Amino acid sequence: MGSLEVTAGVKATRKLRLGMVGGGRGAFIGAVHRMASRLDGRYQLVAGALSSDPRRARASGRDLGIARDRCYASYQEMAQKESRREDGIDAVAIVTPNNVHFKPAKIFLEAGIHVILDKPLTTTLQEAIALEKIVRKSRLIFGLTHTYTGYPMVRQAREMILGGALGQVRLVEVEYPQDWLAVPLEKSGNKQAQWRTDPKRSGPAGALGDIGSHAYNMACFVTGLQCEAVAADVQTFVPGRKLDDNIHVLLRFKGGAKGMLWASQVAVGCENDIRIRVFGDKASLEWRQEEMNYLKFSRYGEPSQRLSRSGVGSMSSAVHASRVPAGHPEGYIEAFAQLYTDLAEQICAHIDGRRPDPASLLVPGVVEGVAGVRFIDAVLRSSRRNSAWMRLI
Amino acid sequence: MGSLEVTAGVKATRKLRLGMVGGGRGAFIGAVHRMASRLDGRYQLVAGALSSDPRRARASGRDLGIARDRCYASYQEMAQKESRREDGIDAVAIVTPNNVHFKPAKIFLEAGIHVILDKPLTTTLQEAIALEKIVRKSRLIFGLTHTYTGYPMVRQAREMILGGALGQVRLVEVEYPQDWLAVPLEKSGNKQAQWRTDPKRSGPAGALGDIGSHAYNMACFVTGLQCEAVAADVQTFVPGRKLDDNIHVLLRFKGGAKGMLWASQVAVGCENDIRIRVFGDKASLEWRQEEMNYLKFSRYGEPSQRLSRSGVGSMSSAVHASRVPAGHPEGYIEAFAQLYTDLAEQICAHIDGRRPDPASLLVPGVVEGVAGVRFIDAVLRSSRRNSAWMRLI
Amino acid sequence: MGSLEVTAGVKATRKLRLGMVGGGRGAFIGAVHRMASRLDGRYQLVAGALSSDPRRARASGRDLGIARDRCYASYQEMAQKESRREDGIDAVAIVTPNNVHFKPAKIFLEAGIHVILDKPLTTTLQEAIALEKIVRKSRLIFGLTHTYTGYPMVRQAREMILGGALGQVRLVEVEYPQDWLAVPLEKSGNKQAQWRTDPKRSGPAGALGDIGSHAYNMACFVTGLQCEAVAADVQTFVPGRKLDDNIHVLLRFKGGAKGMLWASQVAVGCENDIRIRVFGDKASLEWRQEEMNYLKFSRYGEPSQRLSRSGVGSMSSAVHASRVPAGHPEGYIEAFAQLYTDLAEQICAHIDGRRPDPASLLVPGVVEGVAGVRFIDAVLRSSRRNSAWMRLI
Amino acid sequence: MGSLEVTAGVKATRKLRLGMVGGGRGAFIGAVHRMASRLDGRYQLVAGALSSDPRRARASGRDLGIARDRCYASYQEMAQKESRREDGIDAVAIVTPNNVHFKPAKIFLEAGIHVILDKPLTTTLQEAIALEKIVRKSRLIFGLTHTYTGYPMVRQAREMILGGALGQVRLVEVEYPQDWLAVPLEKSGNKQAQWRTDPKRSGPAGALGDIGSHAYNMACFVTGLQCEAVAADVQTFVPGRKLDDNIHVLLRFKGGAKGMLWASQVAVGCENDIRIRVFGDKASLEWRQEEMNYLKFSRYGEPSQRLSRSGVGSMSSAVHASRVPAGHPEGYIEAFAQLYTDLAEQICAHIDGRRPDPASLLVPGVVEGVAGVRFIDAVLRSSRRNSAWMRLI
């Protein structure tokens, strides 16, 4: 299945056949998924249902060099036909708006095709729980593209914390401020703004679902802690907007750690400024997307250190996710590609009936997806009850 | 009264006679007050009740070149005798632990002597309200040394925000993390740690009173907004500690702005990392003590700017508080000195029966002091009631 | 020729057939070239002479999924056979040590195949000039991978400077410090260190050729200025090393600008810290690889601005070279990919007999390659004559 | 002699009587000297010849609270009369333009009065050598205010390097860019610009003498190395300007270290951005005035550390020069004050016939002053001879 190629000069591996749902002309995240799938040479895009508009779907397929007969008018058709081909797709990337996550994921899983899904998992907790069951039953690979978990230094932070470098974790301060929705962009024809502020397509959460879920995933991923309860104050600052554009959340973790989470789409001057700081009783770590190749590491009673990707002291999880030497920055697309490449390893192992490289197992899946939807749900409930604490577990 | 001297080469002014309560041998903040009082040449230290131990009081006075007969064994004695001297002190600096703020302040005010008091105002809301009345009745100058309000760029931030540079304020994110109490330093003989974690000397609040109050004052000072309500989660992480060492607070401001406040003394890797970010519907501002001579200013739809102290675009309140040209950093002692110098102008104007320079009026006073104690009180109540919102006004 | 695919979701284009010389098992830069060629989906690697050892060449080819009959034992064989195939390669990437640049470049050009060559052009000025003639005669596309010119903000800096944003350029301060050769790594079996410090494989220049040439190219690329003369002090700090490991150079540009260039492989604490600052009579610009997505832009008499990739005020050359929105960092591989993608456009246009997109024409070519070798030559001569000025033009 | 007071709460010491030459109304650096002298309470300003215009001298004296009879019309008169008073000044601060350094320094030394002189020492090498002899003969204390040597972390850098923390020093990269003279400010009435670009008052060097001398002093102070030779390219960019406004210099140090020095007053976007990087065979250090409370310290093969003033790992020379805890920034005035305070200790020790605290001996004196003038002289000669190397020792 597929031809052989190497990942960053390391070892020969099978090239997987990929299909895509959504991501046609005019879409944004689809193109990023495609670059991510190409970077390490582990996938070949061979089929697509790239738009809900059949004509646009076909035109987009042509743009991408997909064979005519594999440009499908609907994902249902694609799942059916691809699952019957001998050279059918190994995996599908679903890059549609939030409200079109559940159904295609279900259909492809039931057709025996591995799934790579953009976050958030679903728009309701009910669907999320249902999807979790379907995934478990399918025994297939299911990846959720919480991109930031693909950054080498985010993985190193996790490895350090789980290895005890910080001692007992006490504080988790995480934030994801953006500014692009500080004005009512959805009213001036911006498509990205339109669907992200539209409850019909995005579900009940705005900034909360779009980027708050990333911040929450980051907090859990990096610390390995479970969040027990949240108390939230949710706002919509831009007049006429139907969904939240700012959230402030207090966090309580199992084991006693506390934290704060802030996500905003009205924080003027911030682009995609996700960052996290974790403080233990022995040391702390700090990471920020704008300086993604570095970690600030401070042991109590010692000067702060700046750990660099692939630099001295790099841990195995970061080395695994790196391609070029220290000082040559690797960015967002590489982080995204890491998820794809790790999923390729999982899928190949699944096909070969062997155990995957353990280093490839850090990609968020359906469990993290359900946790994210649960968080969104709890934040909204807390805010409706004047910031009362809501339990998550 | 006093000799004439100039402030930073600007204009000739009277040199005031200063007394000090507390700040004797072994004390920390007293020495800082003295440097602050000296920098601009507006005060001469001539009297002191520098310790509650009379012998140490006298020895400390000798160290400082205070005449024998003006080294007092108690602040009561000092207030009485100085108020009777023709060359008696114009003002007194009270730099004692929190529990010895109210009484000496009261006594000196009643003796007709202007008061400069270290924060927090008092340890109870009751005392705070009482002191406010005493100050009002006295018609004397009363300054509270919230040092960070003396930084030129903090003042410029305030001036910009009040002048509308940010538009309508939406978000206030403020924090003050320290790490020195991440371990039980109070058990190993550290005096600063001892009194700051001792409810008898510090009152009911630990990190909350010591630095949370600074963060809160910063939020109010810079935005000019009144905080309406708080919802707080207060922790004590270090086993055996009697007071809080970390606070997470949600903020709601009059007019609709929201915010978060974090203060911690267990944030390993942070020294005195107070910072604030304010976001309006048009622009945002960011200031951090570690880069105290700069503001990050971002207008929506424009590249961020770095405004520098005394640099291009400096506003009058920052120029007023600056001594040297841009690029030559002015630090903590200069900020502290600014409060002293502005209070000197207020006191001189009071003596001369004229209006003080309006630029000198930004020093926090008793109103801000009461607000701070009210905040401490509300945070503690909220936390006891599982983070329920508590109104402040 | 080749299948159709899209660049970052923009427009459909031909997929080119690529061959590679060098870059087999154990090589470093070959893998980076391959990732760069894959990212935007414009190339398919179909042939290779991946090692001078025929067995390793074949094994490496298999790793990469190259068909058996297109894994060649020598580049001579590859040039000959591929040029005769109907589906022969459109372009070849030559990623061998410096001493094996001239011959394969010559052979492929003479076989009518477009060439992508790693820098520096050649190891001698004589060869460089000869190659320039061959390229001109061939009328083929020739790209030299001065990677840093692929960074969007480096291109924006150039566009701004050429557009007059700085006024008359006065000063160019450029540097490229590394630290990996601060110890005699070449003696402990490190292959990268071995060939880079070996005059037989690297030519007469060490750090000068390896990274000094990048710094020089950066200075010329960004300013559009021609360097007139250099005065250099060249050192070898590590005992026993045969080539330089540090250079200090004074620069004089046509038109009156002056500058300094520093390149070092013994600057402990620096990874790949290339940076440039250009000062004009009206404004200045600063760029640094560690913060590759930003430019510091300072107009005289105005606060400094931070321009971000794809952010407000992005210029067309930067937009052209960007893939994801502002705040999502794009790094070294993306910069490298940009050269490949721009060369793909040039090659396609050549094939189609049309004018290429002007935005694709910024890739350094043989002229820049000759300039680089000329610089290396002049620096070495200046240093031998005790830093006397040597003319370059 | 003088009353007793304490330095930053440490120990009781004598308060010295200070006179000042220059620094009257409208002057800049005089006010800074006065703040510096006041901060630690070691001096009292009691006499002055504050202007060469007798009327302005007297008015300025009144502003500063100097007694009528000690406001002198000339420094000659002041030296004569003060040296005869029983309560005459202990020391004089000379803060006049460069061309009025030699004579007053000579006269006060010959009158037995300790001298604090602003840099550069003199405008000619001849005068510098003559002054060195006078100082030696006088056996008095002579301090030269190279302000940046008073920064705690600059002193710590020196202590670390001299203690071997970097191993053998290989590279010294130092720079001092400013931008205020990027335009012909001297033609628009700016007094600072006028005298600094006027050969009559500044001597033969412009930016070179004004700030190049600071950069050179920094390089020598921090490394403890002697500079052996320089090769320089000196420019005047602003049309009509009579002195240099930019210098590029190659440096060779005794023992084999090499370096580059850049000083500029036309570097648009730079305020007073003096910084230094020193690289040894084991480690490196980096300091920058804009982040004056920190050192970047990088050992080969270890992550970089950020050392903070008064933070963990502070060395004695930095602790000696610090007043407040880590994280509370100390700036330019504190650095300046440190020179005054250290000179106070030296002067008191001289008066008392005891050995001064060794920590106070880091203040630059006449030897460093001569070295600075020698550097200026050699740079100008080198530049006139087309950057030929000129020996300094």
Chains touching B (3+ CB pairs < 8 Å): A, C, D
Residues C143 and C164 in one domain: no
pLDDT in tens, D110-133: 999 999 999 999 999 999 999 999
Mark yes or no for CB contact A246/B170 under 8 Å: yes
CA-based nearest distance C129→chain B, Å: 44
Q: For residues B330 and A10, which has the higher predicted lDDT (pLDDT)? A: B330
Minimum Cα–Cα distance from C192: chain A residue? A325
A114 within a domain of the structure (yes/no): yes
Residues C206 and C288 in one domain: yes
Task: Give the closest of C303, C306, C308 to B307, CB-based.
Answer: C303
Using the 3D structure, point to which of D98, D116, D147 is the last residue of a domain: D147
- What CATH number is attached to the domain comprising B254? 3.30.360.10
- D120 and C CB contact within 8 Å: no
Mark yes or no for CB contact B306/C301 under 8 Å: no
Chains touching C (3+ CB pairs < 8 Å): A, B, D
- A228 and B CB contact within 8 Å: no
C189 within a domain of the structure (yes/no): yes
Helices and strands (H and E) in chain C: how many: 13, 16
> What are the distances in angstroms from CA A15 to CA A37, C332, D381?
11, 24, 67
Per-residue DSSP letter, B290: G
ipTM (interface pTM): 0.94
Q: Which of D3, D69, D70, D55 is nearest to D24 (CA)?
A: D55
Residues B140 and B259 in one domain: no
D contacts of B311 (beta carbons < 8 Å): 271
Task: Give the closest of B260, B264, B296 to A262, CB-based.
Answer: B260
B337 within a domain of the structure (yes/no): no
Q: Residue A26 has what pLDDT?
A: 78
Mark yes or no for CB contact D269/C279 under 8 Å: yes
A contacts of B379 (beta carbons < 8 Å): none
Residues B21 and B37 in one domain: yes
A contacts of B260 (beta carbons < 8 Å): 248, 260, 262
Average pLDDT, integer, range D342-369: 97
C contacts of D231 (beta carbons < 8 Å): 231, 233, 250, 387
Q: Which of D378, D377, D373, D171 is nearest to D255 (CA)?
A: D171
Structure-block tokens of residue B275 = 């910072």
| Burial of C62 per CB tally in 10 Å (0-12, 13-18, 19+) | middle
Minimum Cα–Cα distance from B29: chain D residue? D324
Asked if the model's pLDDT at residue D393 lies above 90, the reply is no
CA-based nearest distance A385→chain B, Å: 10
Task: Give the closest of A248, A267, A286 to B260, CB-based.
Answer: A248
D335 within a domain of the structure (yes/no): no
* Interatomic CA distance for residues B136 and A352, integer angstroms: 83
Task: Give the closest of B303, B304, B312 to C301, CB-based.
Answer: B312
Asked whether the bond before C120 is cis by omega within 30 degrees of 0, the reply is yes
Residues A157 and A119 in one domain: no
Residues B130 and B40 in one domain: yes
Using the 3D structure, point to which of D86, D118, D147 is the last residue of a domain: D147
Asked if the model's pLDDT at residue D300 lies above 70, the reply is yes
Helices and strands (H and E) in chain B: how many: 13, 16
Average pLDDT, integer, range C35-61: 93
pLDDT values of chain B reduced to their tens digit, one per residue, 393 residues: 222 223 344 355 679 999 999 999 878 899 999 999 999 999 999 999 999 888 888 899 988 999 999 999 999 999 999 999 999 999 999 999 999 999 999 999 999 999 999 999 999 999 999 999 999 999 999 999 999 999 999 999 999 999 999 999 999 999 999 999 999 999 998 988 999 999 999 999 999 999 999 999 999 999 999 999 999 999 999 999 999 999 999 999 999 999 999 999 999 999 999 999 999 999 999 999 999 999 999 999 999 999 999 998 899 999 999 999 999 999 999 999 999 999 999 999 999 999 999 999 999 999 999 999 999 999 999 999 999 999 998
- D106 and C CB contact within 8 Å: no
B20 within a domain of the structure (yes/no): yes
* Interatomic CA distance for residues D226 and D219, integer angstroms: 9
B190 within a domain of the structure (yes/no): yes
Q: Which of A111, A79, A123, A115 is nearest to A95 (CA)?
A: A115
| Burial of C224 per CB tally in 10 Å (0-12, 13-18, 19+) | exposed
Domain count, chain D: 2
pLDDT in tens, D39-49: 999 999 999 99
- A231 and D CB contact within 8 Å: no
A200 within a domain of the structure (yes/no): yes
Residues D83 and D129 in one domain: yes
CA-based nearest distance A305→chain D, Å: 4
Minimum Cα–Cα distance from C231: chain D residue? D387
Structure-block tokens of residue C169 = 């350029």
A11 within a domain of the structure (yes/no): yes
Average pLDDT, integer, range D193-214: 95
Residues C220 and C143 in one domain: no
Task: Give the closest of D9, D15, D63 to B31, CB-based.
Answer: D9
Q: Residue C43 has what pLDDT?
A: 97
Residues A225 and A270 in one domain: yes
Residues D138 and D156 in one domain: no
Interface test with B, best of A168, A227, A234, A248 (most B CBs within 10 A): A248
Decide: B274 and B290 in contact? Cβ < 8 Å: no
Mark yes or no for CB contact A233/B258 under 8 Å: yes
Mark yes or no for CB contact A281/B300 under 8 Å: no
Interface test with C, best of B291, B295, B312, B315 (most C CBs within 10 A): B312
Decide: C120 and C100 in contact? Cβ < 8 Å: no
Task: Give the closest of B31, B329, B332 to D8, CB-based.
Answer: B31
Interface test with C, best of A3, A10, A265, A271 (most C CBs within 10 A): A271
Asked if the model's pLDDT at residue C373 lies above 90, the reply is yes
Minimum Cα–Cα distance from D302: chain A residue? A312
Asked if the model's pLDDT at residue D254 lies above 70, the reply is yes
- A272 and C CB contact within 8 Å: yes
> SS3 sequence, chain D?
CCCEEECCCCCEEECEEEEEECCCCCCCHHHHHHHHHHHCCCEEEEEEECCCCHHHHHHHHHHCCCCHHHECCCHHHHHHHHHHCCCCCCEEEECCCHHHCHHHHHHHHHCCCEEEECCCCCCCHHHHHHHHHHHHHHCCCEEECCHHHHCHHHHHHHHHHHCCCCCCEEEEEEEEECCCCCCCHHHHCCHHHHHHCCHHHHCCCCHHHHHHHHHHHHHHHHHCCCEEEEEEEEECCCCCCCCCCEEEEEEEECCCCEEEEEEECCCCCCCCCCEEEEEECCEEEEEEHHHCCEEEEEECCCCEEEEECCCCCCCHHHHHCCCCCCCCCCCHHHHHHHHHHHHHHHHHHHHHCCCCCHHHHHCCCHHHHHHHHHHHHHHHHHHHCCCCCEECC
Asked if the model's pLDDT at residue D11 lies above 80, the reply is no
Minimum Cα–Cα distance from B264: chain A residue? A171
Average pLDDT, integer, range C339-368: 97
Mark yes or no for CB contact D303/A303 under 8 Å: no
Residues A158 and A287 in one domain: yes
Q: Which domain does A41 fall in, by range?
A: 3-147
Residues 58 through 87 of chain C touching chain A, CB cutoff 8 Å: 62-65
Q: Residue A248 has what pLDDT?
A: 98
pLDDT in tens, A350-391: 999 999 999 999 999 999 999 999 999 999 999 999 999 999
Minimum Cα–Cα distance from C4: chain A residue? A65
- A386 and B CB contact within 8 Å: yes
D contacts of C246 (beta carbons < 8 Å): 170-171, 258
Mark yes or no for CB contact A307/D302 under 8 Å: no
- A310 and D CB contact within 8 Å: no
D contacts of B39 (beta carbons < 8 Å): 35, 38-39, 333
Write phi, then psi, for D264 (nearest 5 degrees): -150, 145
C contacts of B303 (beta carbons < 8 Å): 297, 305-308, 311-313
Residue by residue, DSSP assigns B219-233 as HHHHH-PPEEEEEEE
- B302 and C CB contact within 8 Å: yes
Q: For residues B4 and C248, which has the higher predicted lDDT (pLDDT)? A: C248
User: In the A/B pair of chains, how many CB contacts fall below 8 A?
Assistant: 121
Residue type, B110: E
> What are the distances in angstroms from CA D318 to CA B269, D285, D360?
20, 15, 11
B contacts of C303 (beta carbons < 8 Å): 297, 305-308, 311-313
- What CATH number is attached to the domain comprising B25? 3.40.50.720
Residues B60 and B122 in one domain: yes
Interface test with A, best of D284, D285, D306, D309 (most A CBs within 10 A): D306
Write phi, then psi, for C37 (nearest 5 degrees): -75, -25
Per-residue DSSP letter, B51: -
Average pLDDT, integer, range C64-87: 96
Mark yes or no for CB contact D298/C237 under 8 Å: no
Which residues sit opposite B247 in a β-bridge?
B234, B263
pLDDT in tens, A307-337: 999 998 899 999 999 999 999 999 999 999 9
Using the 3D structure, point to which of C147, C178, C211 is the last residue of a domain: C147
Asked whether the bond before C177 is cis by omega within 30 degrees of 0, the reply is no
Minimum Cα–Cα distance from B267: chain A residue? A279
CA-based nearest distance C315→chain A, Å: 18
Of the pLDDT bands very low, low, confident and very high (cuts 50, 70, 90), residue D211 is very high
